[in-house]
């Protein structure tokens, strides 16, 4: 397989603005080209769109709006991990030799139809994600004797880190008490335990080894990819306090990159809800089962931004189709030592974890300098 | 007779494959193991509560019936883990399923 690098990134602020999906796509792509003048638009072989929006033919539309005629142009949708799935598709085009340079743009509106999986009738009338998140939270607390206050620390930490991210939806910090006193959505979930749907876009360009080396002095390579889908319905999750798809995807990504989890210096973790962060940390083997919260406490008290430096989904907001790409941009910037006040020290290898629908599907990427 | 046709009448049934006897859940027209056609097993199925939470004053719970069939259902009394329950009410409302156990 050909080696694949990341050569350019562009992102919009995450907001609650009412914008057309085409406008979000264009803004994000425009930012990428303006920030990276070495990228020749006409060299783009493929344009992949990541979104859950119901508008059609978005890739040809974006291509026309940015004035290019790519060989390959289509949309990829997989709920919340559409972004990294698009990156994997782009990687495959380049690794196979079908394309040398691919633009991936993710975009979503605050009212995305991807927030609820209508097909999953096994959830009965409880289809909104807050219900599976409540069941996960209750099960995790019960299994590992973790308190609500301890889980609230995830939100405290990630809002604090998002404050250093100019594109994040939130620029406020919160105490554990404030998280605990935020609106109670269920007995096991507060409003500040949740990532919020928002409007935003993120773009990235992947390229072959030859083009990557020619285009950038700070290449970042995708060296590991792992994906696993265990089901579509939430109720097929046999464990309610661990993530099987994440465990498998993580192992495969690390194996492909020939790395161990101890080699990972910085990671973006899919904290759709507070409980997801410790569950994912444990499933990826960053910590032992039930000890994810201890790791989070340690990171918070030492002001260590290793996990979710951009503020996670909870701090940044969650424009579904853009999230996985925004996570990958953050790790790229970290590896390029270009993350400003969020920069983690001595970063050589990073990881992206992006998942869908109560962890029924996960994608894990390993990125290296 | 389809699962949904029965559910519309307030009857909960367990769809299983005529060929390999595997439960087909969520309900579908064909078995996801062997693509065999599906039969509806009827009866008063007993399930157990796996997990639960509460929104406002209403409890909801994850209930497991035979062959790993799990549903999210409403429950009127305070739930207990592993407590045995049966479907007391079910149907289709606004295109979506609903279940209640007691």
Phi first, then psi: what are they for A195, rounded to 5°? -75, 150
> b/e per residue, B16-54, with b = 16+ CB within 10 A?
bbeeeebbbbbbeeebeeeebebbbeeeebebebbbbbb
Considering the domain architecture, whether residues A145 and A64 belong to the same structural domain is answered as no
* Test the B interface: residue of A144, A234, A235 with most B CBs within 10 Å: A235
User: Could you tell me if B63 lies within 8 Å of chain A, comparing CB atoms?
Assistant: no
Q: What is the pLDDT of residue A87?
A: 98
Confidence of residue A109 (pLDDT cuts 50, 70, 90): very high
A338 falls within a domain: yes
CATH at residue A110: 3.40.47.10
What would the pLDDT profile of B87-102 be if each residue is shown by its tens digit?
Answer: 999 999 989 999 999 9
Assigned token pair, B18: 């005529």
CA distance A280 to A313: 13
Considering the domain architecture, whether residues A316 and A190 belong to the same structural domain is answered as yes
User: Could you tell me if A229 lies within 8 Å of chain B, comparing CB atoms?
Assistant: no
Considering the domain architecture, whether residues A107 and A177 belong to the same structural domain is answered as no
A161 falls within a domain: yes
User: Could you tell me if B74 lies within 8 Å of chain A, comparing CB atoms?
Assistant: yes
What would the pLDDT profile of A28-65 be if each residue is shown by its tens digit?
Answer: 999 999 999 999 999 999 999 999 999 999 999 999 99
Assigned token pair, B22: 């595997």
Residue from the list B25, B53, B70 with its beta carbon closest to the beta carbon of A134: B53
Chain mean position to CA A220: 17
Which alpha helices (DSSP H) does chain A contain, by range? 21-35, 58-65, 82-96, 129-144, 148-162, 176-181, 209-215, 244-257, 276-283, 292-301, 312-316, 320-335
User: Could you tell me if B48 lies within 8 Å of chain A, comparing CB atoms?
Assistant: no
Q: What is the pLDDT of residue B67?
A: 75
A50 falls within a domain: yes
Considering the domain architecture, whether residues A189 and A321 belong to the same structural domain is answered as yes
A26 falls within a domain: yes
> b/e per residue, A6-15, with b = 16+ CB within 10 A?
bbbbbbbbbb
Considering the domain architecture, whether residues A48 and A158 belong to the same structural domain is answered as no
User: Around A103, how many Cα atoms within 13 Å sit in the side-chain half-sphere?
Assistant: 32
Residue from the list A122, A127, A131 with its beta carbon closest to the beta carbon of B25: A122
In sequence order, which residues have a C-beta less than 8 Å from that of residue A305 and are 6 or more positions away? A161, A266, A299, A342, A343, A344
Closest Cα to residue A285, out of A259, A314, A308? A259
Contacts of B98 in chain A (CB under 8 A): 124-125
User: Cβ–Cβ of A186/B99 closer than 8 Å?
Assistant: no
* Test the B interface: residue of A118, A125, A236 with most B CBs within 10 Å: A125
What would the pLDDT profile of A326-347 be if each residue is shown by its tens digit?
Answer: 999 999 999 999 999 999 999 9
* Test the A interface: residue of B6, B14, B26, B98 with most A CBs within 10 Å: B26
Q: What is the pLDDT of residue A1?
A: 80
Contacts of B97 in chain A (CB under 8 A): 121-122, 124-125
Confidence of residue A274 (pLDDT cuts 50, 70, 90): very high
CA distance A325 to A308: 14
Contacts of A142 in chain B (CB under 8 A): 51, 81
Assigned token pair, A306: 């290793």
A119 falls within a domain: no
Which residue positions in chain B have pLDDT lower than 70?
none
What would the pLDDT profile of A348-367 be if each residue is shown by its tens digit?
Answer: 999 999 999 999 999 999 99
CA distance A316 to A323: 9
Please state which of the four CATH numbers 1.10.10, 3.30.420, 2.40.50, 2.60.40 is assigned to the domain occupying B3-101. 2.40.50
Assigned token pair, A90: 């782009």
CA distance A193 to B98: 27
Q: What is the pLDDT of residue A187?
A: 98
User: Cβ–Cβ of B53/A122 closer than 8 Å?
Assistant: no
Closest Cα to residue A255, out of A278, A285, A287? A285
* Test the B interface: residue of A116, A117, A120, A122 with most B CBs within 10 Å: A122
Q: Percent of chain A having pLDDT more than 70? A: 100
Assigned token pair, A219: 């290449």
- Scanning A129-168 for CB atoms below 8 A from B yields 131, 134-135, 137-139, 142
Considering the domain architecture, whether residues A87 and A177 belong to the same structural domain is answered as no
Q: What is the pLDDT of residue A153?
A: 98
User: Cβ–Cβ of A131/B25 closer than 8 Å?
Assistant: no
Q: What is the pLDDT of residue A261?
A: 98
CA-to-CA separations, B34 to A231, A337, B21, B22, B37, in angstroms, rounded: 17, 52, 10, 9, 9
Closest Cα to residue A9, out of A343, A344, A327? A327
User: Cβ–Cβ of B25/A137 closer than 8 Å?
Assistant: no
Considering the domain architecture, whether residues A164 and A206 belong to the same structural domain is answered as no
By CB atoms closer than 10 A (0-12, 13-18, 19+), residue A262 is exposed
Considering the domain architecture, whether residues A41 and A84 belong to the same structural domain is answered as yes
A34 falls within a domain: yes
Considering the domain architecture, whether residues A293 and A175 belong to the same structural domain is answered as yes
User: Could you tell me if B71 lies within 8 Å of chain A, comparing CB atoms?
Assistant: yes
User: Could you tell me if B22 lies within 8 Å of chain A, comparing CB atoms?
Assistant: no
By CB atoms closer than 10 A (0-12, 13-18, 19+), residue A137 is buried
User: Cβ–Cβ of B97/A125 closer than 8 Å?
Assistant: yes
A16 falls within a domain: yes
CA distance B30 to B24: 8
CA distance A303 to A316: 18
Distance from CA of A122 to the nearest CA of B (A): 5
CA distance B49 to B61: 7
CA distance A95 to B83: 53
- Give residue A159's domain range: 126-194+222-368
Considering the domain architecture, whether residues A75 and A145 belong to the same structural domain is answered as no
Considering the domain architecture, whether residues A237 and A340 belong to the same structural domain is answered as yes
Considering the domain architecture, whether residues A138 and A256 belong to the same structural domain is answered as yes
A307 falls within a domain: yes
Q: What is the pLDDT of residue B1?
A: 74
Domain count, chain A: 2
Mean of pLDDT over chain A: 97
């Amino acid at each position: 397989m050909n080696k694949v690098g990341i050569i350019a990134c562009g992102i919009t602020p995450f907001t609650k603005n009412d914008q057309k999906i085409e406008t979000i796509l264009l803004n994000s792509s425009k930012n990428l080209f303006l920030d990276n003048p070495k990228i020749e638009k006409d060299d783009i072989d493929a344009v992949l769109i990541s979104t859950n929006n119901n508008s059609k033919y978005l890739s040809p539309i974006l291509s026309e709006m940015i004035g290019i005629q790519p060989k390959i142009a289509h949309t990829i949708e997989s709920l919340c991990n559409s972004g990294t799935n698009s990156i994997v598709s782009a990687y495959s085009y380049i690794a196979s030799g079908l394309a040398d340079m691919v633009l991936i743009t993710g975009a979503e509106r605050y009212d995305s139809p991807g927030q609820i999986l209508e097909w999953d009738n096994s959830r009965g009338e409880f289809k909104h994600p807050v219900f599976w998140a409540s069941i996960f939270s209750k099960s995790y607390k019960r299994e590992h004797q973790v308190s609500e206050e301890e889980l609230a620390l995830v939100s405290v930490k990630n809002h604090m880190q998002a404050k250093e991210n100019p594109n994040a939806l939130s620029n406020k910090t919160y105490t554990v008490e404030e998280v605990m006193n935020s609106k109670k959505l269920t007995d096991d979930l507060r409003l500040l335990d949740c990532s919020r749907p928002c409007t935003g876009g993120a773009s990235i360009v992947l390229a072959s080894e030859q083009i990557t080396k020619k285009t950038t002095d700070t290449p970042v390579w995708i060296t590991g990819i792992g994906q696993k889908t265990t089901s579509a319905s939430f109720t097929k999750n046999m464990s309610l306090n661990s993530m099987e798809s994440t465990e498998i995807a993580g192992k495969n990504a690390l194996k492909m990159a020939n790395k161990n989890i101890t080699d990972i210096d910085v990671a973006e973790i899919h904290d759709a809800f507070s409980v997801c962060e410790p569950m994912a940390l444990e499933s990826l083997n960053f910590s032992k089962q039930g000890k994810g919260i201890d790791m989070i406490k340690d990171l918070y008290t030492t002001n260590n931004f290793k996990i979710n430096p951009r503020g996670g989904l909870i701090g940044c907001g969650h424009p579904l189709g853009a999230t996985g790409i925004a996570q990958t941009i953050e790790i790229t910037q970290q590896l390029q030592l270009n993350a400003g006040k969020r920069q983690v020290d001595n970063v050589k290898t990073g990881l992206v974890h992006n998942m869908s629908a109560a962890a029924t599907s996960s994608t894990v990427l390993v990125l290296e300098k | 007779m389809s699962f949904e046709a029965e559910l519309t009448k307030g009857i909960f049934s367990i769809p299983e494959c005529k060929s390999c006897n595997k439960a087909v859940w969520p309900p579908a027209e064909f078995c996801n193991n062997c693509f065999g056609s599906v039969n509806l097993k009827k009866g008063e199925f007993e399930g157990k509560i796996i997990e639960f939470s509460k929104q406002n004053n209403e409890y909801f719970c994850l209930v497991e019936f035979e062959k790993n069939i799990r549903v999210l259902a409403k429950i009127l009394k305070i739930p207990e883990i592993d407590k045995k329950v049966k479907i007391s009410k079910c149907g289709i409302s606004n295109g979506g399923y609903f279940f209640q156990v007691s």
